[in-house]
Every structure is written in structure tokens, then in C-alpha cells.
Amino acid sequence: MDTPAGLDQRIDFVTNETLAATRRIRGVAEETNQVGVDTLVALNEQGEKLDNAERRLDEMNVDLKQTDKHLNELEKCCCCISCSCFRSTGTGTKAYKKGYGKKARAEEDAMLNQPTGSVGSSGGSRRPDGPIINKVTNDAREDEMEDNLQAVSDVLTNLKGIATEMGSELDRQNNQIDRLAMSCEGRSDLCIASSVVWEFNYA
């Protein structure tokens, strides 16, 4: 049969081991949270690059329309010459309409207007009411255990918010990449048409 002193030693040992375990758990949780934050930052930076690429494509689209206008004028001036280049800049292709048509823009606006999560968003979760552990020794070690577990709970809530925002951003970028791919399908026609205008004006 255990003596009171032996029981106290066992309680002291288990308390120390539990405290060490909560410290490790807190450390792992904080490292995981930092990884999540870094990943979200990198994802947002990637999104900015995609936005810049799409902006440049939009500028090319303006140039494409201007080229189309010049080609129409050339076709009127050279109506006796049969040249397919005068009639194709890519603005009438299915790929162009998918990338820049009204339907594509409407889908883009709908995606941009979708609500997204935010870092730290609880998503319906909240901090537990009252203490997490049942105190036995009622000393500073158990106070630290409580603090560690509350910190882990906060990190898990934050990670849930990060995961929600990452999911929304990935969906947005996937749709944007698909739109960019469709917009680029007709660029070979644009290059041919631009070379015709250049040769006509400067050759």
C-alpha cells in the first residue's frame, strides 16, 4: 500500500510530466501556426503576381482591339486583296470570348464578391468556458498548464481561420488561372495580325 509520501511523489512526478507535455504541445502548435501564416503570405504574394499577369493581359486586350480596328481599315483599303490575316486577330474566337466575354467577367465579379475567411476568424468556434484542466495540486505548475492549453486552443482557432482563407484564395486563383489560360489561347492570332500591321506601316 502506498504511503502518503509515496503518493505525493507520484503526484509531483505526473504533474511535472504533464507540464512538460503541455509545453511541447504549445511549442508545436505555435510552429504550426507560423507555417500557416507564412504559407498564407506566400499564397497572397502569388495572387498578386497573377493579378499583375491578368492586368497585363487586359492591356494586351486593349491593344488587340486597336489592332483589330487597324486591320478592318486595312481590309477596306485593300479590299481587292484576299488575306486571311486581315480578318483574324483572335477577338472573335471562342477562347477570346471565354477569357474576355461578358460571361467571363460576370463569373469573375461573382468570385470576387464571395465572402472570404480571415486570419483569426473562429468560424463558429470559441474559447472554452472556464478552466481546461481540473487542478489537483493548485500550484503554479497547473496555472502554467492552463495557460499553455488556452494558448493551444487559440492557435487552433486561428489555424481554422487561416485554412478557410487559404481555401477561398486557392479557389479564386484556380479560377483566375483557368481564365488566363483561355485568354492566352488566341494570342498566336494576335501576333500574326500585329506583324501584318507592322509590315504594312513600316516595311
Average pLDDT across the chain, whole number: 76
What pLDDT score was predicted for residue 135?
Answer: 80
Could you give the CA distance from residue 150 to residue 146 in angstroms, rounded to a whole number? 6
> For position 62, what pLDDT does the model report?
79
Rounded to an integer, the average pLDDT of 171-176 is 92
Q: Is the pLDDT of residue 125 over 90?
A: no
Pair 131, 78: CB distance under 8 Å = no
pLDDT tens figures, 17-27: 999 999 999 99
pTM of the model: 0.64
Compute the Cα dihedral for 165, 170, 175, 180 and give only its sign. Answer: positive
